[in-house]
Amino acid sequence: MSTIYMMTAVNLFAGDHDPTKSKHLTISELKLPDLSEIYVDHHPGGGRVGVEFEVGVNKLEPTFKLAGHDPDLMVQFGLGGKQRKVYTAYGVILDKRTGREFESKAIIEARLGNVAPDAFQRGELQGHEYALNEVMHYELWFDDQEKFHWDFFTNVWRVNGNDENAGVNRILRIPGAA
């Protein structure tokens, strides 16, 4: 049966699940990374029509916007540390057909690569847009079900719990992959 799933609220933890890192009072925008494949064109010498082949997935680039200033978060910017951090985003999803609310969750291991302040304008709340770069791990959960799981170092790529890369990892004997 068709329905509409609508996100009605979000929160972000910058530094995993440390309760002091909650951004629920200041987060105004959250954009999870686009999932976009990379294609290359191929026009065979003996063929009349060209085709395109999928050869991978583009890098993941999540962003978020916070109202006001966040000095604690700003020091996570690249110059403040060389290690990636874990950012966990939670969303409240509303099933418009049934009225049931449930959780969506994104876990992102990345570096805070960009901090872009809004222009100050008297009478308006200045905010900052943040971009996460060097994403090395990404998970997306929807109603307690894993939808995507990707890890750079283990070469794991799961979709709906199915390890799409298991055969490649097995053939290449990639350590740490299932």
Whether the predicted model's global pTM rises above the 0.85 cut: yes
Residue 81 · residue 110 · CB < 8 Å = no
Would you say 76 and 40 are in contact if contact means Cβ atoms under 8 Å apart?
Answer: no
pLDDT reported for residue 17: 65
| pLDDT tens for each residue of the chain, 178 residues long | 899 999 999 999 987 767 788 999 999 999 999 999 999 999 999 999 999 999 999 999 999 999 999 998 888 887 666 789 999 999 999 999 999 999 999 999 999 999 999 999 999 999 999 999 999 999 999 999 999 999 999 999 999 999 999 999 999 999 866 5
**What CATH number does the domain located at 5-34+59-143 have?**
2.30.110
DSSP-assigned letter for residue 173: T
- pLDDT of res. 1: 81
User: Backbone dihedral region of 17: left (phi > 0), alpha (psi from -120 to 50 degrees) or beta?
Assistant: alpha
